[in-house]
Amino acid sequence: MFVDLHTHLDQYEPGELPGMFERARNAGVGAIIAAGVTVESTRRGLELAGEYDNVFAGVGVHPSDLTGELDNDALDQLRFMAGNEQVVVMSEVGLDHQDHSPDRAMQERAFRAQIGIAHEAGLPVVFHMRFATADMLRVLTEERVSVLGGAAHYFQGSHDEAAAVIELGCYISLAKPLLRLPELGKVAREVPLEWIVLETDCYPQPFKGKREKWTEPKDVPMVAAKLAELKGIDVAEVMETTTNNALTMLGHKADRVSAVLR
């Protein structure tokens, strides 16, 4: 079965989730990771992981959700949650250098502190790097993320950027932009399948109008089918390899996830 490496399940109304999980399971998606974007969002994701067997949690504060420095209290809460057995990644953390984003130096301090928690807990780092590739690669190198592993979430970068991420021992996480961006398709064709994982980054999307158009974990196979087409291989090979890649990335947490994929 597939693994959806990155979602924002905590943002949905609770009543939405059982139907979403049924649709995901019917589509062959057996495990879903709920990323945090704030301390409270992380806590909600962890609660969902405790409630549903197919859900696992990520711990983290998104760079765009910073409202100030991550103080000791926030870091202590993240550290405590990172020790929970249902937590399998440090996510969603990273850098975002869009014009409206929080102070870059503050983002970097928060990112480094959260990588420190990942080292303490032995968690791979799933990172956000919008308009911040050079700084991201520098921080990942300096903070020895290659020891932990991880993935560049919702990747839309160049071949050179993908190669630099892989050189650090991190995976390229592809989502639905693969269906609509020809340049990303060229990159995906060249990146070895052994370094690719899949996700949806799903969250409520009322701006799409009809509910059935919202992205959900069930859409992972759509991404897999496009990747298979680009590489000229069977979808079954994409599923097997990307799932194995995700489990390899998860390291000592992999057994918990693989148990729900049977």
The highest-level CATH class for domain 2-258 is alpha beta
pLDDT at 173: 98
pLDDT at 29: 98
Residue 145's contacts (CB-CB under 8 Å, 6 or more residues apart) are: 115, 118, 125, 168, 169, 170
Which of 156, 191, 193 minimizes the C-alpha distance to 176? 156
pLDDT at 100: 84
Model-level pTM? 0.97
Give the domain ranges of the chain. Answer: 2-258
Strand partners, 31: 3
pLDDT at 252: 96
Q: Average pLDDT by consecutive 10-residue portion of the chain (262 residues)?
A: 98 97 98 98 98 98 95 98 98 93 94 98 96 95 98 97 98 98 98 98 95 97 98 98 98 96 89
pLDDT at 211: 94
